[in-house]
Amino acid sequence: MPGLLRGMARTAVVAGTATAVSNRVSRRQASRWAQQEEEAYEPAPAPAQVDPIAQLQKLAALRDQGALTDEEFAAQKARLLA
């Protein structure tokens, strides 16, 4: 009879340990998933404000260098000032 009780006790300890480990893994995984969802829903940073005067100066320099035509410059200028 003592061998039977010892075997049952050992089985109970192993089962209890397995359950505890399984629960800990499940909680840790759920925590990771929650953190990933939080990161996924963070708002994107606001776009930096563009200085239209500086942009116009860059476009004018590109036009003067011949990289932009007068029509392209006018289109970009209208877009910036709109």
Segment 24-64, tens digit of pLDDT: 888 999 998 888 887 777 677 777 787 888 999 999 999 99
Mean pLDDT of the chain: 85
Whether the model pTM is above 0.85:
no
State the CB neighbour count (10 A cutoff) for residue 59: 19
Burial class (CB in 10 A: 0-12, 13-18, 19+), 6: exposed
What is the predicted pLDDT for the residue at 1? 60
